[in-house]
Amino acid sequence: MKNLHDKLSSRGAATLTDVELVALLVESADDRRSALDIAESMLKEFSSLSGLVRADVARLRMSEGIGLKRAERLMVAAEFGRRVAAEAGQHADVISTDRDVERLMRPQFEGMKHEECWVLYLTSSNRLIEKLRVSQGGVQATVVDHRLVVKRALELLSTNIILTHNHPSGAAEPSGADVTLTRKLKEAAALFDIQLLDHIIISSEGSYSFRKGGLLEY
């Protein structure tokens, strides 16, 4: 492990492999196995770093050679990374594409086990005024009151809005309930000259844009 610490000090964390990053997080003087062996087996068990990040403490601590303290250390490191990414995303002032929305919101949704729905309130030039969570629910669904979404838009003098939510199950394709919600929100917003620009679903497998999919054209 000394060589690994030397590599970190001399060349920086960006040069470390996934296995080496995890090894430095889980290393302990009490280990009978090397930290690199533990890290390699963990990445194999959880398939990737993103799989490791999405695991909870109970699942992590069951991995051979981990235990509670190191499981908590991994969770803290993952949450630290999520918060830094979310903070960086706040500086994306202008939302021009669905990719801008994904960059802004994916850190918010990463590792989440339940659905949450957020609205991005924009000016007429698509500058972000506010992002607001409007609902949270179970694994399969969340309920959104479109009237409250429009009410907040009027309070902020927002003329453009974007709806976005996550699918913890993995697939990003919209459900029938997603389509119905989008239609109701678009119709309610239009009554006040507020435009629903897009509804973007974000999952671990990718994302789905209602605008690109032609589901806003009704």
Relative to beta strand 195-203, strand 160-167 is parallel
Q: Please state the rounded mean pLDDT for residues 42-70.
A: 81
pLDDT at 85: 65
pLDDT at 125: 92
CATH, residue 82:
1.10.150
* Number of C-beta neighbours around residue 88 at 10 A: 12
pLDDT at 41: 87
Q: In what order do the strands lie in the sheet with 128-136?
A: 128-136, 116-122, 160-167, 195-203, 206-209
* pLDDT, tens digit (0-9, with 9 covering 90-100), for 189-216: 999 999 999 999 999 889 999 999 999 8
Distance CA 156, CA 168 (A): 30
pLDDT band at 9 (very low <50, low <70, confident <90, very high): confident
pLDDT band at 123 (very low <50, low <70, confident <90, very high): very high
Question: Of 51, 86, 121, which closes a domain?
Answer: 86
Q: For residue 218, tell me if it sits in a domain.
A: no
DSSP bridge partners of 166 = 202
Nearest to 165 by CA among 115, 129, 213: 115
pLDDT at 207: 94
Q: What is the mean pLDDT of the chain?
A: 86
What's the domain range around 6?
Answer: 2-86
Answer yes or no: do 54 and 142 share one domain.
Answer: no
In sequence order, which residues have a C-beta less than 8 Å from that of residue 85 and are 6 or more positions away?
106, 107, 110
Question: Of 32, 59, 86, which closes a domain?
Answer: 86
